DNA sequence: GAGTGGTCTAGACCACTGC
DNA sequence: CAGTGGTCTAGACCACTCG
């Protein structure tokens, strides 16, 4: 294993090549979410590099939340089943007091054909099969978010309302456990919109009152878009928090 | 210089102690924004540790955007005057096309006494002097954001509307150059609200139409809160983008 | 060519976990 | 106690910038 020296244009340091190899093993499912990956010394042996080089590769993957290091135990593949990462993608906070218990209430789940927008975002062809889910998110028993979720049919074809209703845990932990799809990264676009009739009813607000529209595209390993969702947040008693640095 | 070995409860690795020392020099103004700090080998000599240890400390500070590494040149103190970091805190994007040229239009600047809320957020006492700024942010000549900005008077007491009008560049670069205050981190809370009369006029939308309310607290070195601002964003043609990982 | 940060190595020792 | 990740060191060499 060698770094490409003396070849500036395509130069890539050794540890990044190692990082790619580890990523390939993650994508390929050699190590599954929640499992331990081999120790640093073992990986160093396998790849024929020093432990320090493996360490730097793993450091980056851990910084990207793909791996999780635990001193004395080992390095784990990050999982949405891990309570630590449970709400990593939900940036919601109560205006006063604690946010309380959250409940996901599945409303509908049906099959459809991808329109222009869905096809573009999910990297599908027009009219490819997709699955659409509508659900309500409640905090302390009060409805706060209505989500409409678009999923590629080739992967999520067998998803049903029953599965959603019976699942204990986050949506992403269901996707991970039942469909082998792990969300790794997401982009959100936020706007303020006026509540339409049906959303207003579900959220218990007046039609036309301001709602926070959150459009999210989620990516799995390898930058593959595997979810497109639009949430309408009632921000009467909650807000979306973000940290800038 | 030694790591505290054999003393588990307060154990702090050497590189973190070095990191604190560098942070102290930043806070104390030994190196100013935009300047180069001493080379890694020089710092290693000064602190009596190996270059690798300094490197790890600097790595963390660079990851937090406090320092900026440039291969072959040196390590710089991050600055809001640097065009690379110019819009680091503005997460705005046009729905279609490019965002275009941005212009800051100062509207008002007056002195006041801190109310309960401002005092709490900025860590002041009730009725301590503060400065309040109102300004409009335009993109391609169209108004998109109205900001109301609360600043502690002890630091920003001499800020005037004239200064704001004459300044070329971002607000934070003015704060940095003229008041020696560098924003390092910020927390934002987003909600959807209905436009009040005056904001609606300024933004060219109808009264009562939905706006994105962005409340921001900015921190300088050492976690000191030095700015509280509330922006109302018209999201008719723009959106707030956020990356989750 | 001299100086800077960036990569890679090999080896020693520390801190944490679980058997 | 053995095995894991975490820290620290010293030294070699590479890539980039500038005079």
**Tell me: the pLDDT tens digits for A80-100?**
999 888 788 999 999 999 999
Mean pLDDT for A193-209 is: 97
Which of the nucleotides in strand C have any atom less than 7 Å away from a protein CB atom?
A: 3-11, 14-18
| Cα–Cα distance for residue pair A87/A234, rounded to 1 Å | 18
Residues in chain B, pLDDT under 50: 5-7
| Cβ-proximal residues to B101 (8 Å cutoff; 6+ apart), any chain | B139, B140, B141
| Cα–Cα distance for residue pair A211/A193, rounded to 1 Å | 5
| Cβ-proximal residues to A24 (8 Å cutoff; 6+ apart), any chain | none
Q: C-alpha A71: how far from its chain's center? A: 26
The single-letter DSSP state of residue A195 is: P
Q: Which CATH class is domain B2-77?
A: mainly alpha
Residue A120 or residue B1, greater confidence: A120
pLDDT band at A7 (very low <50, low <70, confident <90, very high): very low
Report the 10 Å Cβ neighbour count for A9: 5
| Cα–Cα distance for residue pair B25/B31, rounded to 1 Å | 7
**How does strand B67-70 pair with strand A36-37?**
unpaired
Match 């791996």 to its residue by tokens: A67
Give residue B171's pLDDT: 96
pTM of the model: 0.94
Q: What is the mean pLDDT of chain B?
A: 94
Q: Would you call A191 and B212 a contact, using CB atoms and an 8 Å cutoff?
A: yes
**Tell me: the pLDDT tens digits for B177-222?**
999 999 999 999 999 999 999 999 999 999 999 999 999 999 999 8
Residue A9 has pLDDT above 70, yes or no: no
Give the tokens for residue B38: 């001493």
Q: What is the largest CA-CA distance in chain A?
A: 66
Give residue A6's pLDDT: 46
Provide φ and ψ at B183, rounded to 5°.
-75, 135
| Cα–Cα distance for residue pair A89/A19, rounded to 1 Å | 24
The residue whose CA lies nearest the C1' of nucleotide D6 is: A71
| B238-244 β-sheet, strand order | A102-113, A129-139, A142-152, A225-233, A210-219, A185-194, B238-244, B92-94
CA distances from B245 to A34, A55, A63, A82, A88 (A): 18, 21, 10, 15, 8
**Domain chopping of chain A, boundaries:** 2-77, 83-240
Chain B residues whose CB is inside 8 A of the A211 CB are 192, 210
Mean pLDDT for A111-118 is: 97
**Tell me: the pLDDT tens digits for A150-160?**
999 999 999 99
Contact between the CB of A47 and strand C at under 7 Å: no
Choose the CATH number for A83-240 among 3.90.1170.40, 3.40.50.170, 3.40.1410.10, 3.30.565.10. 3.40.1410.10
Q: B92 touching A, CB under 8 A?
A: no
Q: What nucleotide is nearest A4 when CA is compared to C1'?
A: D14
| Cα–Cα distance for residue pair B208/A210, rounded to 1 Å | 9
**Tell me: the pLDDT tens digits for A221-241?**
989 999 999 999 999 999 999
Give residue A85's pLDDT: 81
CA distance B8 to chain A (A): 14
Give residue B6's pLDDT: 45
| Cα–Cα distance for residue pair B206/A194, rounded to 1 Å | 12
pLDDT band at A5 (very low <50, low <70, confident <90, very high): very low
The SS3 call for residue B186 is: strand
CB of B172 within 8 A of CB of B80? yes
| A36-37 β-sheet, strand order | A36-37, A74-77, A67-70
Q: What is the mean pLDDT of chain A?
A: 94
Give residue B84's pLDDT: 82
Q: What is the largest CA-CA distance in chain B?
A: 66
Give the tokens for residue B181: 């205050």
CB of A78 within 8 A of CB of A65? yes
């Amino acid at each position: 294993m060698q770094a490409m020296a003396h070849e500036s244009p395509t130069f890539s340091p050794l540890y990044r090549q190692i990082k790619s190899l580890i990523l390939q093993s993650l994508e390929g499912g050699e190590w599954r979410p929640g499992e331990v990956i081999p120790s640093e010394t073992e990986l160093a042996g396998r790849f024929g590099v020093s432990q320090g080089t493996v360490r730097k590769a793993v450091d980056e993957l851990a910084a990207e939340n793909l791996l999780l290091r635990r001193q004395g135990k080992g390095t784990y593949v990050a999982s949405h089943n891990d309570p630590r990462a449970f709400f990593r993608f939900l940036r919601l906070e109560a205006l006063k007091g604690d946010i309380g218990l959250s409940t996901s209430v599945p409303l509908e789940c049906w099959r459809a054909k991808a329109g222009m927008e869905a096809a573009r975002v999910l990297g599908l062809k027009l009219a490819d099969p997709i699955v659409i889910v509508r659900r309500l998110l409640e905090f302390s028993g009060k409805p706060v978010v209505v989500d409409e979720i678009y999923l590629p049919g080739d992967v999520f074809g067998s998803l049903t309302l029953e599965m959603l209703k019976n699942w204990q845990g986050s949506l992403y932990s269901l996707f991970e456990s039942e469909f082998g799809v792990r969300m790794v990264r997401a982009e959100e676009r936020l706007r303020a919109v006026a509540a339409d009739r049906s959303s207003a009813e579900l959220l218990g607000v007046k039609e036309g009152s301001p709602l926070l529209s959150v459009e999210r595209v989620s990516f799995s390993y390898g930058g593959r878009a595997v979810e497109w969702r639009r949430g309408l947040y009632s921000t009467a008693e909650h807000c979306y928090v973000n940290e800038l640095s």
